[in-house]
Amino acid sequence: MVGAASQSSAAACYGGLAQSSDPISGDWDVSFKVEGTTTPATFKLKLDGENVTGTANSAHTGPGTVRDGSWVNGKLSFTLDFKTHESIAISGSLKDGKLVGEFRTEGFVSSWEAKKKAAATAVQSNAAGNAAPTAVSNSADPISGDWEATLEAQGTAVPVTLKLKLDGDKVTGTSESEHLGPGTLSKGSWAANKLSFTMDSAGMSIAVSGMLKDGKLAGEFDAGALKGIWQAKKK
């Protein structure tokens, strides 16, 4: 019995050590500080030995990938490569549960910090009546679903039904309107609480951008010669 107890204790100890030895893997909410302003971004990092891989996204840079990533002696470094933005060299360290450091891009150096996203949990009762934590997935995807939208410009409101689907940071879907007819969504993204997509309908393309606030989507649209505001509420 003593031997079994010792083995169990050792297993628990080593299990905890293994978990704490990877403080990098996971989703991070990032803040880049640039000339007195803060630009939000997200990192998805994966630690394998001393190698770090992953992705990044922000409304400013668009999606990017991690290159030449490493985590050695408590120091993190990698380069972010983007399709529409200059690469960003990242360096930092872990302090009080946060990643902090410097980044270099477009000829200047500034600071950044990141906090790991906490996994949302809900308490449910199991068959034995004990409380057990289970992951909550609904709050992680506030975009997917049917939305009743209204486009407003020059005193006219046009109702549109949007069917949105979020897959990672990408947004796809369709639109339906008596005025515009059926349409499809392209170039859709959801990053740092900002939504953007292009609605192709009735032979025209409408660039749509917005944010989620109090359970509603609201923002601006640009149809070339016609610009306006829009808002939407989930059905």
One digit per residue, the tens of pLDDT, for the chain of length 235 reads 444 444 444 344 434 333 446 889 999 999 998 777 888 899 999 999 999 999 999 888 889 999 999 999 889 999 999 988 899 999 999 888 899 999 998 788 999 999 998 754 444 444 444 544 444 444 578 999 999 999 998 888 999 999 999 999 999 999 998 888 899 999 999 998 899 999 998 788 999 999 998 889 999 999 888 899 999 999 9
With the C-alpha atoms ordered 224, 226, 227, 231, is the resulting torsion angle positive or negative? Answer: negative
Q: Which domains does the chain have, with CATH numbers?
A: 24-116 (2.40.128.120), 140-234 (2.40.128.120)
Residue matched to tokens 């905890």: 16
Tokens representing residue 66 in the block: 């991690």
Cβ(32)–Cβ(123) below 8 Å:
no
pLDDT in the model for residue 139? 54
Q: What does each C-alpha distance from 214 to 105, 193, 233 come to in angstroms?
A: 35, 12, 10
Counting beta carbons within 10 angstroms of the beta carbon of residue 31, is it exposed (0 to 12), middle (13 to 18) or buried (19 or more)?
middle
Q: Give the contacts of 76 (CB within 8 A, at least 6 positions apart).
A: 24, 52, 69, 70, 90, 91, 92, 93, 94, 99, 101
Closest alpha carbon to 199 in 185, 218, 189: 185
pLDDT in the model for residue 131? 46
pLDDT in the model for residue 134? 42
C-alpha to C-alpha distance for 114 and 44, rounded to whole angstroms: 11
C-alpha to C-alpha distance for 170 and 186, rounded to whole angstroms: 10
